Structure 1
């Protein structure tokens, strides 16, 4: 019998790619999603359980029905700017929803939990490559809510034996190279799809938010990881737990940062088109430079990113031109 994995947020960008990676690895991903930001058309690799993490009974019912070997938790509010203006919503939805999910897992005997966290838990720490031992000092409610969930997992692990793998990562980009799933948000806030929309004329220009940061060219610098590489890491995290290796935190990144202007330069080469831009003010909560190492994931999970920035832009460009969902 194939093993089931409940994937919260499985109709979203990263969750849908994780479902594809799980199916490819022989699991049956069960997507649990309220479709508030996800897309039913992205649920292609297993069944859909339409439900909300604020509804504890619905979570328990889904777990009882499918009896998954683990949960992968992606569902969350994730807009940094929004979290700065409405922090209460992030604490209610992200932390409250995760608590419901964790308690439902324990009630239904699901003892393995793979959590999609974020390097936003570190805050603004320039000049260092962030790793699992870097102190966590979030500067926005999004990062703070994710850190709270990490701490909850530690508490429930100590008291109830819940085993968890936590992944921290930054900017995820690209699309499934086969074109089955890709990135689509409404509203869109991520740099690469916004940039490609500007290239295609779907928006007038890409806004560069801030050009006076303490970086080489004044624009924010970030570590980008291909969504397919990221999804494969989550499958490795699941297997880590199934092998009985215990709770662990892993950072996922390339260790190399690219500024906004450098990403734009790469896009010009990949698409062979101009990228129209306008200069904008800084956004509240944005850190200047965030780069993530992944030495532990390489050494212990055997994971390494295989696809660079050009591949991310190329795959996203292909998806954008044949836009699905």
Structure 2
């Protein structure tokens, strides 16, 4: 039975990963140290090494990272976390498999209509992408360790935060319905994005956790489909039954504002691991809305 040490289980991605692992009978135990027990970002390597010695995991999964903040914040949350995991594992759990969440932001600007492959050039457009490129590179060159990075595209699903586009759109549509308002405002919605259901992402994590052998160090975690953010928000409004106007103003997040198109080539995960995403965007949008209604 596989013993998993999961960091970030209280977050959006980590929570779904925890649920997927807990449901799999091949997983014997899922340990989820909270920040009080060990903070991957603020904690030091010695404390992490001691934790790995105490828990003796077969697999270590990190769903911890930084989406925003200063360049220092991003490097600490994404690059240094990867470095700490590798250093501690080499000392205390050298046979454990390590799995971290990277980002589609590592690719940077992509030619419209093209799917990005794991071996494509990495030309990130800001500190966020740079911080993940560095973290992924550390995992890729880690000699003697079984280290895997998932380049996560745009994860969506039940429990999304209002810090995300669709989470924010759902909250504003819900408020508009409540208050009888016929207009909401969001940022620019013309960019094409690859929205992957977080439950499909969690399934890929589970596949890697339990695989006898993982052939590659990096896998794209996307849907293989690109739609505009505008189309995704329109699907959400239709699911809500709201027919008002969505006004676009301001600017998008700095980590991806200059990237007008992104779509994952997911053939490596399919061919090497037998994984394919199962949920269509329309179903995921429905579940996003219904989850908010239940809350």
TM-score scaled to structure 2, two decimals? 0.88
Question: Deviation per CA, 1:185-215, whole angstroms, max 9, x where unpaired?
Answer: xxx321211111111107986543236xxxx
**Pairing 1:132-211 to 2, within 5 Å after superposition:** 132-157=118-143, 161-175=144-158, 182-184=159-161, 188-201=162-175, 206-210=184-188
Report the Cα distance in structure 1 between the residues aligned to 2:168 and 2:228, rounded to whole angstroms.
15
Alpha-carbon distance in structure 1 between the residues aligned to 2:10 and 2:225: 29
| Deviations 1:16-39 (CA, angstroms, capped at 9, x unpaired) | 10011111113222223428xxxx
- The aligned length equals 283
2:186–2:249 Cα contact (<8 Å) kept: yes
CA, structure 1 residues 110+246, in 2 after alignment: closer, same or farther (shift >3 Å)? farther
Determine helix, strand or coil for the equivalent of 1:129: coil
1-structure distance, mates of 2:51, 2:76: 22
CA contact 2:226–2:263 (8 Å) conserved in 1 = yes
- Pair 1:124 & 2:124 matched: no
Secondary structure of the structure 2 residue equivalent to 1:193: helix
- Cα RMSD for the two superposed structures: 2.1
Which residue is equivalent to 1:306? Answer: 278
- Within a 5 Å distance, the mapping from 1:257-276 to structure 2 comes to 257-274=226-243, 276=245
- Aligned equivalents of 1:290 and 1:9: distance in 2? 26
- Taking the aligned partners of 1:152 and 1:289, their CA distance within structure 2 comes to 27
1:252 equivalent in structure 2: 221
Where does 1:87-126 land on structure 2 (aligned, <5 Å)? Answer: 87-111=71-95, 112-126=97-111
Residue 30 in structure 1 maps to residue 18 in structure 2: no
Change (3 A) 1:222 1:206: farther
Partners in 2 of 1:228 and 1:275 — Cα distance?
A: 30
| TM-score, L = length of structure 1 | 0.81
1:290 matches 2:262: yes
Contact 1:251 1:293 in 2 (8 A): yes
